[in-house]
Structure 1
Amino acid sequence: MKRRSPTARPITVERIERALDRVAEIIVARDAQGEAWLPLYDYLERAQQDYQAKQDRLAAVRQRAKRSRD
């Protein structure tokens, strides 16, 4: 049995992309039953958008802080 690390792996855009790819494969492979996986796909897409928006905001904050120091 595989043991999980006590610390969760960080969420990255790459991990979200891999999950989206896998869920898309499942949806297509299962044809009509694949529709049941659409809520998960939608969730992952929103998570990807939220993650990217957060990264963009952090970059803007860093730039503002840098400008204020200059």
Structure 2
Amino acid sequence: MTLQEGVVMRPYSTTRRPVTSERIGRALDRVAEIIVARGGQGEAWLPLYDYLEGAMQDLQAKETRLAAVRERFKQSKG
């Protein structure tokens, strides 16, 4: 981490990490914390929270479908 104008900043990473339900869950937890901590001003963060919830649902639906595809393939070869 680096210090810029009195603010601790994480260095930018060029390594792309995969989007996982765990990462989205941590982001949801953090945004929920911000919303609660900011009281009435926290409402401004609701669109981000909604987006993350949708991303979580989409990812879980994709994982469920892929599991079904793998199962179908496994049964067709068995």
TM-score over 0.5 for the pair:
yes
Bigger radius of gyration among the two: 2
Q: Percent identity?
A: 70
Which of 17, 24, 30 aligns to 1:22? It is 30
Which segments of 5 or more consecutive residues in structure 2 lack a partner in the other structure?
3-10
Select the structure that is richer in helix.
Answer: 1
The one of the two structures with greater contact order (alpha-carbon pairs below 8 A, sep at least 6) is 1
Structure 2 letter corresponding to 1:54: K
1:58 aligns to 2:58 (yes or no)? no
Select the structure that is richer in strand.
Answer: 2
**TM-score for both structures, normalised by structure 2:** 0.84
Deviation at 1:7, TM superposition (A): 3.1
Moved over 6 A (4+): none
Which segments of 5 or more consecutive residues in structure 1 lack a partner in the other structure?
none
Deviation at 1:8, TM superposition (A): 1.0
Q: Deviation per CA, 1:31-60, whole angstroms, max 9, x where unpaired?
A: 000000000000000000000000000000
Deviation at 1:15, TM superposition (A): 0.3
**TM-score for both structures, normalised by structure 1:** 0.94
Give me the CA root mean square deviation: 0.9
